[in-house]
């Protein structure tokens, strides 16, 4: 008889009322895949918060084991790419949305979704980065592909105290950028300065409806917030600059005008982590090895256990989580 393990299961009744339970599962319960992984670490992203609270339709298969990120060890493999004992990392690919995910002691996954755990990181460190941090890296890479360099001027980072924002600040500062951090939590200014922010601005400056074009304040932006904030970031970007947009913490609308695009040649760069091709993921993770200071990663990361996931998921949707959360899955 195979051993059981604990899992978080999100279900819906006939009236589509959502419930969240801690259940015991066995390997036979897991969904199809060619690689079985013992989950050693995971994280709580904003999207995981939405899945567990049901605040947005993240879950598209019921019932669901949420959790979009995991790191662990392969226990069984029908794929030539991985063998038992290999340390692996997974971010996205619809895991935790349409395929049972990370909030369980074991996961069965497709080999195509997995990449080797970078040797330089432990499972908990890599989950301290997680999808949020890897997306921050993708945003910086998008700005670089556009030709942005530290000499061009400041870079604004919105949602600065969040997962994407805090990792983006640490990376950009290490690369030599002058970082302007936009936050609704000015009491965390010291934390943001330690990460490398040169200036802190109140997010209220950006979150209300603004003018089509404003003073040129920054050469580039990393935006995890969307809505009026993204519109105002675009309106205050210097001639020829670029903004990488990856999030919707304020809203998924974009109440902007075309003025920054047609009068200043500003570029809006969309960033998706979930379906990003493998080559770009591998590049992002190898860049994280070199461009994210481990001391800063430790400062950003709070480590919790399996039993704390549900409470943390609610807190992240209320903007109450600072930086990143890594989950030690021992005991799941």
Contact positions vs ligand NDP (CB under 6 A): 45-47, 131-132, 135, 159-165, 183-185, 203, 207, 224-225, 229, 246-250, 271-274, 316, 319, 321
Q: How far apart are CA 217 and CA 234, in angstroms?
A: 10
CB of 172 to ligand NDP, least distance (A): 15
- Type and span of the H or E element at 195: helix 189-195
The closest residue (CB) to ligand NDP is 162
Closest to ligand NDP by CB, 106 or 313: 313
Query: In angstroms, rounded to a whole number, what is the distance separating the alpha carbons of residues 163 and 135?
Result: 9
Cα end-to-end span (Å), the chain: 18
Closest to ligand NDP by CB, 77 vs 273, is 273
Closest CA to 324 of 184, 193, 191: 191
Task: Give buried/exposed letters for 69-104 (b at 16+ CB in 10 A, else e).
Answer: bbbbebebbeeeebeeebbbbbbbbebbbebbbbbb
By beta-carbon proximity to ligand NDP, the closer residue of 54 and 240 is 54
Output 124 or 248, the one with its CB closest to ligand NDP: 248
Which DSSP symbol is given to 102? S
From CA 210, how far away is CA 206, in angstroms rounded?
8
Judged by DSSP in three states, 174 sits in helix
Q: Which residues are bridge partners to 74 per DSSP?
A: 37
CB of 25 to ligand NDP, least distance (A): 27
Q: Cβ closer to ligand NDP: 105 or 247?
A: 247
Q: Considering the complex, what minimum distance in angstroms separates the CB of residue 332 from ligand NDP?
A: 22
Query: CB of 237: closest distance to ligand NDP in angstroms?
Result: 18
Residue 201, beta-bridge partner list:
182
Residue 234 CB, shortest distance to ligand NDP, in Å, is 15
CB of 308 to ligand NDP, least distance (A): 16
Cβ proximity to ligand NDP, 120 vs 272, nearer residue: 272
């Amino acid at each position: 008889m195979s051993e059981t393990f604990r899992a978080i299961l999100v279900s819906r009744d006939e009236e589509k009322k959502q419930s969240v339970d801690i259940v015991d599962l066995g390997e036979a319960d897991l969904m199809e895949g060619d690689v079985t992984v013992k989950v050693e670490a995971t994280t709580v992203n904003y999207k995981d918060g939405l899945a567990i609270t049901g605040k947005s339709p993240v879950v598209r298969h019921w019932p669901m084991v949420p959790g979009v990120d995991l790191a662990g060890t392969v226990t069984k493999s029908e794929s030539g790419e991985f063998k038992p004992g290999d340390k692996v990392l997974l971010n996205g690919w619809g895991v935790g949305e349409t395929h049972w995910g990370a909030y369980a002691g074991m996961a069965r996954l497709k080999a195509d979704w997995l990449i080797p755990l970078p040797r330089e990181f432990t499972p908990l460190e890599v989950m301290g980065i997680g999808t949020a941090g890897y997306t921050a890296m993708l945003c910086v890479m998008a700005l670089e592909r556009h030709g942005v360099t530290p000499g061009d001027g400041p870079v604004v980072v919105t949602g600065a105290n969040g997962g994407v924002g805090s990792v983006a600040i640490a990376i950009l500062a290490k690369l030599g950028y002058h970082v302007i951090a936009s936050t609704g939590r000015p009491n965390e200014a010291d934390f943001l300065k330690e990460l490398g922010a040169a200036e802190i601005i109140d997010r209220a400056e950006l979150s209300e409806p603004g003018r089509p074009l404003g003073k040129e304040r920054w050469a580039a932006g990393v935006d995890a917030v969307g809505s009026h904030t993204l519109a105002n970031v675009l309106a205050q970007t210097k001639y020829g600059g670029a903004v990488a947009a990856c999030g919707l913490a304020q809203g998924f609308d974009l109440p902007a005008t075309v003025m920054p695009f047609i009068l200043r040649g500003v570029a809006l760069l969309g960033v998706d982590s979930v379906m990003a091709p493998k080559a770009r993921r591998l590049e992002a993770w190898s860049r994280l090895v070199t461009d994210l200071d481990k001391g800063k990663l430790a400062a950003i990361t709070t480590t919790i256990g399996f039993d704390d996931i549900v409470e943390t998921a609610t807190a992240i949707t209320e903007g109450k989580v600072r930086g990143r959360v890594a989950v030690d899955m021992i005991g799941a």
